[in-house]
Amino acid sequence: MKTKEAIDMAYAENKDLVMVGSNSNPPVCKILDYNKFKFEMSKKAKEAKKKQKTVEIKEIRLSANIEQHDLEVKARNANKFLKAGDKVKVSLRFRGREVTFSNKGKEIINKFVTMIEDGQMEKEPKLEGRFLNVVISPNK
């Protein structure tokens, strides 16, 4: 249908000619109330935004001389975070001259990761300044 004819039809019904599908050839238009259409679209966008899940990163800090029970408690907390769908950043802080024993820190991090059931490491532990960091993401 010609554009002029469609505009005349919409004017006769006291409504608007709204382009619904601009990607198709020829473009698809409908005769409807534009304000109502705009309201419906904003409602759909709001609903889609509500259903989106943002992934948060929770941080768990360890020390180079952490005891076994403390490690188990922190692993339980990490499992809770992973079950909720969040990523967990595990950072082990070295104090003073502890940084010279970074291999001990890597052992602690690997031990911690083996305690976690609901996730896997994204990358190997990385030393950044005085911190040894690793990010654990939830299993699919």
Residue 45's pLDDT is 92
* Continuous H helices in the chain: 3-12, 34-51, 68-83, 102-115
**103-138 tens-digit pLDDT:** 898 999 999 999 998 888 888 888 888 999 999 999
Domains of the chain: 3-49 (3.10.20.80), 57-138 (3.30.110.10)
DSSP state of 53: -
Phi, psi of 113 (to 5 degrees): -65, -35
DSSP state of 101: G
Phi, psi of 14 (to 5 degrees): 65, 40
Contact 22, 30 (CB under 8 A): no
pLDDT of 16 above 90: no
Mean pLDDT along residues 39-44: 92
Whole-Å CA distances, 31 to 9, 12, 88: 8, 11, 51
pLDDT of 28 above 90: no
Region for residue 128 given its phi and psi (left: phi exceeds 0; alpha: psi -120 to 50; beta: otherwise):
beta
Could you tell me which residues come within 8 angstroms of residue 34 by beta carbon, excluding any fewer than 6 positions away? 16, 18
Q: How confident is the model at residue 3 (pLDDT cuts 50, 70, 90)?
A: confident
Residue 23's pLDDT is 79
Residue 69's pLDDT is 95
Does a cis peptide bond (omega within 30 degrees of 0) precede residue 125?
no
pLDDT of 22 above 80: no
pLDDT of 58 above 80: yes
**59-116 tens-digit pLDDT:** 999 998 899 999 999 999 999 999 988 999 999 999 988 888 888 989 999 999 999 9
